[in-house]
Structure 1
Amino acid sequence: MTDVVHTRPALRGRSTRLAAAVFLLLTAVHLVAQLAGSGPLADRTQWFLMPALAAVLWCATAAPRPRLVRLVLVALAFSWVGDTLPDLFDGDAAFLAMVGGFLVAQVVYAVAFWPHRRDSVLRRPAVLAVYVLAAVVLVGLCLPGAGVLGVAVVVYALCLGTMAVLSTGVHRLAAIGGAVFLASDAMIALGAFTDWFAPPLDGFWVMLTYLAGQTLLVAGVLARR
């Protein structure tokens, strides 16, 4: 019986390291593909990024997994929907499919982090004001070009900002992840709804910050435990 008890953590550790190695390899290939302008390779590797990150979280936690872990796994699943569903559509439909997947992911993240709100910046008005200002500025910049999607822009910004604020209550790593995730989605929104935001290699920077944000959120959840 003792051998079984000692074997399970060891097996979990090996599984976690394997899942992390797969995720890091996929991340490296994807980012290189973004830099090289290889659209097909970037698209294909993006399909597997969130499942690999979810596997890291799954392997690193023992059953029964707590509420926080279960909900973050659901958020990663909807992030995967946002990554893959747009490939089935073209134009505006693809953009809306992406936004829909990530909107649900942000809501699930916020629900997951809600029990830790007392440790968040909600109790630090000066820091909270920075997040509110960032969301207001983002909405203000995007609304003129959003047209009929104006309401969707406001709703998404509210959910995204709420997720970033509540992530500060989980762990410092999660707080950084939430802020970086906010920056990633801000770049997508500015690229979609403004004429002036067109940085070089924008796909690379969006994906770099997106993957860093998601990874730090998962790392923060694991550190919290």
Structure 2
Amino acid sequence: MTVEKLIVRNPWFVAFAIVAVAHLILNGADVTPWDGITKVMLAPLLAAWVLVDHGSKIIAAALIACAFGDLFLLWDGTFIVGMAAFAIGHLCFIRFFISRGALQGIRKNPWVLLAYTAAAVALVGCTWSGLGELQIPVPIYAAILVCTAATSLAYNKTAGLGGALFLFSDAIILLGQADKWQPEPTDIWIMASYILALLLLTVGILSQEKMRLGTITG
């Protein structure tokens, strides 16, 4: 069975796709609290897929941390807590990618890491004056995001695209926190890129691990 068939036929992928589409519709129509409920459901569905598929528990943990991040971002006054939850999730992703040889890949092609770092520095510099109390945590979180993006690409291209989209999604959020320009409709841009980021990271990891173990044929 090919990777594509493995994904499309998987009931967890179907459930995730249904909830993702529902969330984007509810988000666009500003239907509360259902838009928030569907948002928080996204990452746990992927975590369940990982566990049922006998995937890495650290990836499931990363996705659950992202779910807590989504939860805390729903409430006023808990933005930093949500950021911390996402940071934990990213550290789990990074730990996994490093365990699969990502550092060797980065050493062979350091330009990707340098490019991501330059983009993150430019973004933080652009938003710095409007960050207020976030001036300390944002650079730390940005550095973690850069590591996720670089190590995921060193792992494989699918996961790498997911890492890049995660960085893109959070960049739009950061622009909003600093009262800078954001693309419209902002929430759709943020959530569409975030949803694809989660999916591509999960699919990239599950498919690569199955091929590594020789359980996919086609």
Length-normalised TM-score, structure 1: 0.83
Match in the other structure for 1:134: 119
Match in the other structure for 1:19: 12
State the SS of the aligned residue for 1:39.
coil
Bigger radius of gyration: 1
Identity, in percent, stands at 29
- What is the Cα deviation at residue 119 of structure 1? 5.0
Q: How far does the alpha carbon of each residue in 1:168-203 deviate from its partner, in whole angstroms, 9 at most, with x for none? A: 12211001110111101111111111x332332211
Match in the other structure for 1:103: 87
Spell out the pairing of 1:1-225 with structure 2 (5 A cutoff): 17-61=10-54, 65=55, 69-87=56-74, 89-90=75-76, 93-115=77-99, 116-193=101-178, 195-225=179-209
Cα distance in 1, alignment partners of residues 48 and 13 from structure 2: 8
Match in the other structure for 2:212: none
Match in the other structure for 1:4: none
Q: Structure 2, unaligned stretches of length 5 or more?
A: 1-5, 210-218
- What is the Cα deviation at residue 140 of structure 1? 0.8
Cα distance in 2, alignment partners of residues 175 and 31 from structure 1: 23
Cα distance in 2, alignment partners of residues 31 and 221 from structure 1: 25
Which protein has greater RCO, CA pairs closer than 8 Å, 6+ apart?
Answer: 2
Worse-matched range after superposition: 119-128 or 45-54? 119-128
Counting matched residue pairs gives 202
Cα distance in 2, alignment partners of residues 94 and 210 from structure 1: 19
- Which AA in structure 2 matches 1:108? C
Cα distance in 2, alignment partners of residues 109 and 140 from structure 1: 26
Kindly report the root-mean-square deviation, in angstroms, between the aligned alpha carbons of the 2 structures: 1.9
- What is the Cα deviation at residue 121 of structure 1? 3.4
Instruction: Identify if the C-alpha distance between structure 1 residues 86 and 183 changes in structure 2 by more than 3 Å, giving closer, same or farther.
Output: closer
State the SS of the aligned residue for 1:199.
coil
- Which AA in structure 1 matches 2:27? Q
- Which AA in structure 2 matches 1:135? A
Cα distance in 2, alignment partners of residues 201 and 40 from structure 1: 19
Q: Structure 1, unaligned stretches of length 5 or more?
A: 1-12
